[in-house]
Amino acid sequence: MLSRSLLLALTASAATANVIPRQDATTCTSPVVRKEWRELSTAEKTDYLKAAVCVRNLPKQKYAEVDAVKTRMDDLTYTHLTLNQQIHFVANFLPWHRWYVQLHEDMLRDECGYTGRQPYWDWSIESDTNTMPVSPIWDAETGFGGNGVLTGNQTRGFSRCVMDGPFANTTYTLGPGWPNINDVVNEEHCFAREWNGGLGRDPATGEQIIDDMQAAAYSTTVMRTIHNFNNYYRMSEMLEGLPHAQVHSIIHGDMGPATSPNEPLFMLHHANVDRAWARWQGRNETRLADYSGFNDRVTLSIRASIDDEMPVLELADTKPVVRDYMDTMAGPLCYTYSKMTL
């Protein structure tokens, strides 16, 4: 299996920001409902896709000194890339990405006129029915376009591109780097996917082997195993290491390296990971306070605390505190998911 190796390689950077609570605690009496992609109407899907295109076309507002950062989406992607080691395979993986997905949703609303909510993608549906390669998520009209195709262009970064759907012909300057896929680069490439992680080719035909796209890694059975852990550390570790990492790996292309926010499905994927955490929490007092693990991933020597601040670089004016992101219906958050049962 591929899993975590893709996300592991190296970059690190110190974060800077001041500490002021982003918002006073408010009462969340009528949470907004994040829906599964298939539950959206065609008009709602179109609105989301338009907003996701929009944020890729707006100019950046941050990282003035970083030439590779060009667009508003790059502001998000560069933050994720540069913080890679501080937000993956450490305790804050779940609250950091909860904060990040909400920030992106707010950006779509505030800067791209989006009026809907962040949808999620329940890939266990595709796993359980063995339909990943034919999922409606890949639809060119009502989805995100399909697999990358060979273009015949030998220019580095342009040999395999997504050629259908709303993100066809999108180019990015950030990632994948070389020789290390997580290096910061400043060179255009087309938006790419390479299903099943480019794991192999049929020797007879030379065609890529897509097969079942490692469906066993993100099935309802796997999600149930994760749900049955009774402490945060174990639950988070398996949720990140298995279904989360494998869905990155099987889409591959832009979804593989730490520049994965380039892939518009990133946000729907992470909303679903967030849903698994929220479901596990069940708004149970004990679990809403259950946060454990380590803030370093090599020596496992820095114990995490629910009062830890999370790094943001330039992306936000204030550093979010883990405690404020434990409950999707308290503090700065006020949402729930359309389906919370397994």
Q: Which is nearer to ligand NAG, 11 or 46 (CB)?
A: 46
By CB under 6 A, residue 230 contacts ligand NAG: yes
Q: How far is the CB of 188 from ligand NAG (least distance, A)?
A: 7
Residue 25, Cβ density class (10 Å: 0-12 exposed, 13-18 middle, ≥19 buried): exposed
Q: How far is the CB of 170 from ligand NAG (least distance, A)?
A: 9
* Residue 153 touching ligand NAG (CB under 6 A): yes
Element holding 81 (H helix, E strand)? helix 72-82
Q: Give min distance, CB of 193 to ligand NAG, in A.
A: 15
169 binds ligand NAG (CB under 6 A): yes
Chain centre distance of CA 230:
25
Q: Which is nearer to ligand NAG, 41 or 153 (CB)?
A: 153
- Which two structure tokens, joined as six digits, stand for 34? 């994040």
Nearest-approach distance from CB 122 to ligand NAG, in angstroms: 24
Q: Output the six-digit token pair for 28.
A: 């969340």
Cα separation, 72 vs 65, in Å, equals 15
Is there binding between residue 284 and ligand NAG (CB under 6 A)? yes
Q: Which is nearer to ligand NAG, 186 or 284 (CB)?
A: 284
Q: What are the structure tokens assigned to 301, written together?
A: 């020597």
From CA 324, how far away is CA 331, in angstroms rounded? 6
β-strands 335-337, 32-34 pairing: parallel
CB 72 within 8 A of CB 315: no
Query: Does residue number 158 form part of the binding site for ligand NAG (CB under 6 A)?
Result: yes
The Cα–Cα gap between 45 and 47 comes to 5
Q: Does 286 bind ligand NAG (CB under 6 A)?
A: yes
Least spacing, CB of residue 282 vs ligand NAG, in Å: 7
What's the closest the beta carbon of residue 45 comes to ligand NAG, in angstroms? 16
The residue (of 49 and 199) whose beta carbon lies closer to ligand NAG is 49
**140 counts as binding ligand NAG under rule CB under 6 A:** no
Residue among 86 and 281 whose Cβ is closer to ligand NAG: 281
Q: Which of 57, 129, 155, 228 binds ligand NAG (CB under 6 A)?
A: 155
Entry field: residues in the chain: 342
To 10 degrees, what angle do helices 232-239 and 265-281 make?
160
Neighbours of 54 (CB within 10 A): 17
Q: State in angstroms the smallest separation of the CB of 227 from ligand NAG.
A: 11
Q: Is 168 in the site for ligand NAG (CB under 6 A)?
A: yes
The pair of three-digit structure tokens given for residue 334, joined into one six-digit string: 């006020």
Which spans of this chain sit near ligand NAG (rule: CB under 6 A)? 153, 155, 158, 168-169, 230, 284, 286-287
